[in-house]
Structure 1
Amino acid sequence: MERIEGWKHGEELSKIFAKCNISGSSAVLHVAPDYTLLALATKGIEPDVIWQFDIGFEKTANQFFRHNPPTPGEVENAIMVVEDEVMQVSKLIPAGTHLFSFDVAVKEIYAQLEPYQQSSARLLYRHDVEAIFGRLSTIISGRPVSSDTLPQTATFAAALLILREVMFHLGFDEVTLCD
């Protein structure tokens, strides 16, 4: 994990904070192929701090997943590394901070909800992420891949794992999807 000072994309994140009508203590999550960013704003739309984690959906998939679907051991190894990365900032996130994301990967996870579970506010709750991860876990444990509609890629599994660990270990109850 690296704290980014004066990061060149800070201005872009400020635009995202403004576009998503973000106010109060808020964070924007960006899961990229080779890294994950978490920008925290407590006083408006300018990020107070931006952290870059050494985890991304392609990097994590390539580093840990040798099988498709990944094995339980591969997933456990990935969880340990992702957890170690995000836990470094766990005490730095104020209680009640709301999480936002504009990522295609997070939107793909949201799309796994049943239509009746999807809200006009485009909220993805932690218990929904856990339920989707549970579906992945049953496939990893031997359930036929064809018995579920989850995307069958290692990058989807890695993005789901990263989102799950961020939400759980940093105390986010939900993530709001922004366009």
Structure 2
Amino acid sequence: MHAIPDTLLQLYQRARGLQPAGAISVLQLSATQCAFASGSGAAPASSILLALGTQLGASLFRHAPPTALEMEHAIMLVEDTLAPVRPTLAAASQLYCADACVRALAGHAGVAGDGVLWLPTGQLEYTFGRFAEVVQGRPAALEGLPVDGEFAAALLIMRELTHHLGFAGIHLLPAQ
């Protein structure tokens, strides 16, 4: 295991304080990377850093909203990049995140407020489906969703992450 960034370790400790027993996984999603730490103890047993972040939208999406072909290409890239994560996660762990971009995404999914929020995977899937309708030509204003590459990348990453890594949803911690 490589050294865990301090901010990821601090996030793990915050989540552990909310869930003192059982397995947890924490995620930090930035412009350039996804970082995960996971475990059942006071300190994470594993961590992984991936070169996958919200800037993905700037490099893959030439249109706003992205075209269906751009989204398909991005889905394949995200799935392939996330593949090594699953074996590093503690079994049956709960996912925690404190990133502003994910909290903003939750707001577009109908989950807003102060404090710890719960964004169920089903609600994230529904929001992804709404965005897919926009990609297919439905006016974005009808869905109330942003169409920029950063939002599209964050939504895609979080959807694929919860879908392929088997999380029931995401516990959103307030920023500190």
Q: TM-score, normalised by structure 2?
A: 0.89
TM-superposed CA distance for 1:165, in Å, is 0.9
TM-superposed CA distance for 1:120, in Å, is 6.9
Maintained 8 Å contact 2:66/2:147: no
SS in 2 for 1:78: helix
Percent identity of the aligned residues? 29
Give the Cα–Cα distance (whole angstroms) in 2 for the partners of residues 37 and 92 of structure 1: 12
Give the Cα–Cα distance (whole angstroms) in 2 for the partners of residues 49 and 94 of structure 1: 8
Residue 154 of structure 2 corresponds to residue 159 of structure 1:
yes
Alpha-carbon distance change, 75 to 144 in structure 1, aligned in 2, over 3 angstroms? same
Residue 45 of structure 2 corresponds to residue 48 of structure 1:
yes
TM-superposed CA distance for 1:148, in Å, is 1.8
Maintained 8 Å contact 1:95/1:171: no
SS in 2 for 1:57: coil
TM-superposed CA distance for 1:39, in Å, is 1.1
Instruction: Tell me which residue corresponds to 2:120.
Output: 125
SS in 1 for 2:108: coil
Maintained 8 Å contact 1:13/1:47: no
Give the Cα–Cα distance (whole angstroms) in 2 for the partners of residues 144 and 15 of structure 1: 41
Alpha-carbon distance change, 120 to 62 in structure 1, aligned in 2, over 3 angstroms? closer
TM-superposed CA distance for 1:119, in Å, is 9.7
* Residue 13 (structure 2) aligned to one of 4, 18, 22: 18
Give the Cα–Cα distance (whole angstroms) in 2 for the partners of residues 155 and 50 of structure 1: 25
SS in 1 for 2:25: strand
Aligned-partner residue type, residue 41 of structure 2: K
Q: TM-score, normalised by structure 1?
A: 0.87
Give the Cα–Cα distance (whole angstroms) in 2 for the partners of residues 14 and 93 of structure 1: 15
- Alpha-carbon deviations, 1:24-65, whole Å to 9, x = none? 211111111011111112212x2222211111001x102210
Give the Cα–Cα distance (whole angstroms) in 2 for the partners of residues 54 and 121 of structure 1: 27
Give the Cα–Cα distance (whole angstroms) in 2 for the partners of residues 137 and 99 of structure 1: 25
User: Is there any run of 5+ residues in structure 1 with no aligned partner, and where?
Assistant: none
Instruction: Tell me which residue corresponds to 1:138.
Output: 133
TM-superposed CA distance for 1:126, in Å, is 0.5
After TM superposition, which residue ranges in structure 1, 4 or more long, deviate above 6 angstroms? 117-120
CA RMSD of aligned residues (A): 2.0
Aligned-partner residue type, residue 133 of structure 1: F
